[in-house]
């Protein structure tokens, strides 16, 4: 069953596991977010192209790349039981460099790198709620991709465990990644010219 629309919070991974696959959901601090409708062809094109670029790099570095749907459970503390975890997200792309964070259900700790591709239905959540969530859980790099406008913002975790001012990349620039051992990816290789 899907979560009731009127309940605004209090869900856990235990609840999430009981919902049908008819709709995709994420939980952020116990609040259910519906991920419908399905991503647009433009979103999927960016996702496929960028995932291939990142995976080519992680294949050489020993990290692993995953594409949504892939459950990333983020407990509030290490002692919290799995079923009581209030946050489970499905980043468009996630990169893990520590295999101990993975299990047969997905991941039970934060990725090293997350990519979210903005869409009209998820833009606010990705730029506000997920930004704060990924910072709080120690995601080392958070990429926000705006395919329509043709830019990418990269947030990097600093020594104080907070994101600094993001680096902003246009379509004609290359994105440098510390997580990917300094590798650079040309933005034009995954951003179309339509914007």
CB 175 within 8 A of CB 150: no
Tens of pLDDT, residues 136-177? 999 999 999 999 999 999 999 999 999 999 999 999 999 999
Per residue in 59-97, pLDDT (tens digit) is 999 999 999 999 999 999 888 889 999 999 999 999 999
pLDDT digits (tens, 9 = 90+) for 93-118: 999 999 999 999 999 999 999 999 99
pLDDT score, position 89: 97
Distances (CA, A) of 127 to 107, 144, 189: 22, 8, 23
CATH fourth-level superfamily of 37-189: tt1808, chain A (3.90.1570.10)
Residue environment code for 174-193, b if the CB has 16+ CB neighbours within 10 A, otherwise e: ebebebbeebebebeebbee
Distance CA 63, CA 112 (A): 9
Q: How far apart are CA 74 and CA 40, in angstroms?
A: 27
Q: Domain map of the chain by residue range? A: 37-189
d(C-alpha 136, C-alpha 160), whole Å: 11
Return the pLDDT at 195. 43
Instruction: Output the pLDDT for position 88.
Output: 97
List, for residues 9-60, the tens digit of each pLDDT value.
Answer: 689 999 999 988 778 899 999 999 888 677 888 899 999 999 999 999 999 9
Residue 5 reports pLDDT greater than 80: no
């Amino acid at each position: 069953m899907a979560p009731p629309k009127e309940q605004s919070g209090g869900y856990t991974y235990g609840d999430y596991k009981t919902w049908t696959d008819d709709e995709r959901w994420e939980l952020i601090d116990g609040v259910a977010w519906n991920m419908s409708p399905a991503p647009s062809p433009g979103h999927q094109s960016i996702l496929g192209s960028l995932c291939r670029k990142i995976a080519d790099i992680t294949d050489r570095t020993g990290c692993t790349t995953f594409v949504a749907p892939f459950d990333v459970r983020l407990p509030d503390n290490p002692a919290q039981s799995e079923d009581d975890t209030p946050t489970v997200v499905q980043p468009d792309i996630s990169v893990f460099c520590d295999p101990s964070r993975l299990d047969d259900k997905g991941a039970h700790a934060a990725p090293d790198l997350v990519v979210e591709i903005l869409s009209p239905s998820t833009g606010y959540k990705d730029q506000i709620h997920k930004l704060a969530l990924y910072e709080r859980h120690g995601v080392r790099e958070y990429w926000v991709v705006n395919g329509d406008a043709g830019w990418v913002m990269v947030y990097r975790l600093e020594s104080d465990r907070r994101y600094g001012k993001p680096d902003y990349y246009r379509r004609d620039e290359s994105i440098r990644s510390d997580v990917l051992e300094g590798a650079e990816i040309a933005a034009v290789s995954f951003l179309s010219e339509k914007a």
